[in-house]
Amino acid sequence: MTPEQLEPILEAALMVAGQPLSVSQLQKLFSEAETPTTAELREALQSLEQRYSERGIQLKEIASGFQFQARVEFSPWLSKLWEERPPRYSRAFLETLAIIAYRQPVTRAEIEDIRGVGISSSIFKTLLEREWIRLVGYKEVPGKPAIYGTTKTFLDHFSLKSLRELPSLTEVQTLTLVEDQLPVQLAFDNTLRAEAENAESEETALEGNVPEQTETTELAQEEEQLEEELLTAS
């Protein structure tokens, strides 16, 4: 099969699949006699990627395989296609996810030690239900606490091929990672930063009995400590 015949088949399959397809899954589209080699498939996929380099969608390789995705810069327009607003995550949720992503494998106690406060069980429940994190084992210390790591689903959701593609902490600058926009796979959207700040302000207003200057100082110290811990881990 020539590249001219192979490329449109792969293009059509990736368009209609509705999920990422790995090289082995793409090879199963063909009969035994015409099955392209891995090298031929990757060459055709690379050619497709170049063809879409200046289009509104792109061919992206993520953890589970290859997938057509809308480009992140078009999120202000594409987000209007869905009436339901994406969920808003608390600062504690985002910090916990970030620590697991950059520090894994890590125990709950180690996360709490980095953050300086306890973690709500609902945060772990949500992360596990979304299959963004998983139990990877138990630490060989008294009590054998569970240790956690991220999953392939986490990588797919944030449009990453591997953990090596995580932005450096200097690029992230804050622990506000991303808005949940699965319908268009828009990863690391900066708009969530403002939402996280609003959620933090609401939590501060509920506390009420702590002077503003003290809260600001403590928050700065917490962020500085967390950044130092994550930089050390990376």
Nearest to 82 by CA among 158, 179, 194: 179
Contacts of 174 (CB under 8 A, 6+ apart): 193, 223
3-class DSSP assignment, residue 136 = strand
Alpha carbon distance 144, 122 (integer Å):
21
Cβ-contact 182, 156 below 8 angstroms: no
Question: What pLDDT does residue 91 have?
Answer: 85
Nearest to 3 by CA among 43, 55, 31: 43
Question: What pLDDT does residue 143 have?
Answer: 87
Instruction: Judge whether residue 33 has pLDDT over 80.
Output: yes
pLDDT digits (tens, 9 = 90+) for 155-202: 988 889 888 888 776 655 544 444 333 333 333 333 334 444 444 444
What tokens were used for 13? Answer: 């399959």
- Asked, for residue 83, whether it belongs to a domain, the answer is no
* Domains identified in the chain, total number: 2
Name beta bridge partners: 57: 70
Say yes or no: 10 and 112 in one domain: no
Say yes or no: 113 and 222 in one domain: yes
Tokens 């991303």 found at? 178
Nearest to 158 by CA among 124, 120, 130, 200: 130
Tokens 């060989």 found at? 140
Say yes or no: 63 and 95 in one domain: no
Count of Cβ atoms closer than 10 Å to residue 9 Cβ: 15
Q: How far is CA 155 from CA 10, 36, 79, 135, 161, in A?
A: 23, 27, 21, 16, 6
Asked whether the whole model's pTM tops 0.85, one would answer: no
Range of the domain at 201: 91-233
Question: What pLDDT does residue 107 have?
Answer: 94
- Asked, for residue 79, whether it belongs to a domain, the answer is no
Say yes or no: 139 and 215 in one domain: yes
